[in-house]
Amino acid sequence: MRVYLDNNATTIVDPAVEEKMIPFFCQMYGNPNSLHQFGSETHPALKRAMDQLYSGINAKDNDDVIVTSCATESNNWVLKGIYFDKIKTGEKDHIITSSVEHPSITAACKFLETQGVRVTYLPVNSEGVVEIESLKEAIDDKTALVSIMWANNETGMIFPIKEMARIAHEKGALFHSDAVQAIGKIAVDVQDTGVDFLSFSAHKFHGPKGVGGLYIKDSIPLTSLLHGGEHMGGRRSGTLNVPGIVAMGEAMELAVKYLEYEYKEVTRLRNKLEDALLEIEDVFVVGKREHRVPNTILASIKGVEGEAMLWDLNRYGIAASTGSACASEELESNPVMEAIGADADLSHTALRLSLSRFTTEKEIDYAIIHIKEAVKRLRAISSTYSYAPKNHKSGL
Ligand code: C6P
């Protein structure tokens, strides 16, 4: 049996999405900008996909939704665009983000620091969430942008986006949210929250890899990263990825359609798995369930090195991670665990389990059996763990 519990790294393409995109590889393969019918026959599908994207995040007609190659590009674009538009011009000098963002935000911010930008990395509380007060303290009249993720990729914790956007606006700053781990898991409404920019990536919600998007409220000007043939209204040049766009539109529509299922069924299965984990002695899970997206568990299993656990589970066909996929080849402690103040022992024993709407009860039952067995095996050979009458089940 193969059980995929690494859906925060990427998801299976929904067969309904695959079916929609296939004709645009070998049948309707024209360039949408060409004047002949090979080009124009792609237009209805592209129009439908863009409508699906607008409606999925509740964007207005005068907003822009620009298709990019991934969320990494979208995140870099916002940060560097703001640098060119508001900071290099001397108008502002400051960007605020959190200490638990994805590297596509933090690495871009580190780069901007080398260009003289003042960057504040807000701390998080023991649940891994930025406190509103710390944003209020850090923001000033020179803050150009506040960039805070909608939900964390490792803990699944949901951030108070609406309130943070309001605070940013009160100080004259723009607000960006990386919603990569929110779309398809919880409702994402750009009008209700008032965000100015929003990043997403199709492969996190059962679309293909290599296509993502950036929402821009009221078509706010933002210097382009890609100059060229003036595609996407001149905002992002490059021949349109027609199969990818069609697929992302369909995936977005399905993500919204299945939200109810996500809230009920995915939550139920996640809770079943989490309850089973917490039956094991010395297991700790980051963050309250009700503050998390439905699919995610970040656990620490005392005495069980995260990587050892992954290898052991992999032998039984179970895929999990120790944290974000892009950091998984480094045998370092989990940075989000460190940010919430967990000690080195907890950080090295992190295990991220992430479900999707394709996860079945049978798979969860199978995973529970093998996780419990793996813990016994690995603790038996651990030099740091000895069974003692203590229990660290509750949160930090
Ligand atoms: N996180 C994870 O295992 P791309 O790779 O550009 O499609 O998405 C980047 C990205 C941006 N923001 C967040 C919050 C993310 O979780 C990710 C991707 C994966 O957690 C791979 S590192």
Q: Is 70 in the pocket of ligand 1 (CB under 6 A)?
A: yes
115 and 188 within one domain: yes
* Residue 377 burial (CB count, 10 A): 14
Mean pLDDT value across the chain: 94
Q: Is the CB of 6 under 6 A from ligand 1?
A: no
Burial of 372 (0-12, 13-18, 19+ CB in 10 A): middle
- Does residue 321 share a domain with residue 185? no
Q: Where in the sequence is the domain holding 42, given as residue range(s)?
A: 15-257
Check whether residue 160 and residue 302 sit in a common domain. no
**Count: domains in the chain:** 2
A 10 A CB-CB count for 329 gives: 8
Contact 178 CB / ligand 1 (< 6 Å): yes
Looking at the fold, whether 160 and 305 belong to one and the same domain comes out as: no
Q: Are residues 104 and 150 in the same domain?
A: yes
- How far does the centroid of ligand 1 lie from the alpha carbon of residue 381, in Å? 34
- 226/82 same-domain check: yes
The answer to whether residue 30 is domain-embedded is yes
User: Which tops the pLDDT comparison, 382 or 139?
Assistant: 139
For residues 209 and 156, state if they share a domain: yes
Distance 279 CA to ligand 1 centre (A): 31
Residue 299 shares a structural domain with residue 309 = yes
Pocket of ligand 1 contains residue 214 by CB under 6 Å: no
Q: Domain of 216: which CATH number?
A: 3.40.640.10
pLDDT-derived band at 392, boundaries 50, 70, 90: very low
pLDDT in tens, 78-115: 999 999 999 999 999 999 999 999 999 999 999 999 99
The verdict on 234 and 189 lying in the same domain is: yes
Distances (CA, A) of 220 to 63, 81, 195, 208, 216: 8, 11, 12, 28, 6
392 part of a folded domain: no
Instruction: With respect to residue 391, please indicate whether it lies within any of the assigned structural domains.
Output: no
pTM of the predicted model as reported, rounded to 2 decimal places: 0.95
- Which residue's alpha carbon is at the smallest distance from atom 16 of ligand 1? 153
> What residues pair up with 176 in beta bridges, in sequence order?
147, 197
Distance 101 CA to ligand 1 centre (A): 10
Any domain includes 1: no
| Residue 395 lies inside a defined structural domain of this protein | no
**Closest ligand 1 atom number to CA of residue 326:** 22
Same domain, 21 and 81: yes
Q: Is 17 exposed, middle or buried (0-12, 13-18, 19+ CB in 10 A)?
A: buried
Residue 92 belongs to a domain: yes
Residues 156 and 208 occupy one common structural domain = yes
List, by residue number, the catalytic residues: 326
Task: State the CATH number of the domain containing residue 362.
Answer: 3.90.1150.10
**182-240: pLDDT as tens digits:** 999 999 999 999 999 999 999 999 999 999 999 999 999 999 999 999 899 999 999 99
Specify if 304 maps to a domain. yes
Query: 396 in a domain, yes or no?
Result: no
Together in a domain, 201 and 80: yes
What tokens does 288 get?
Answer: 């309250």
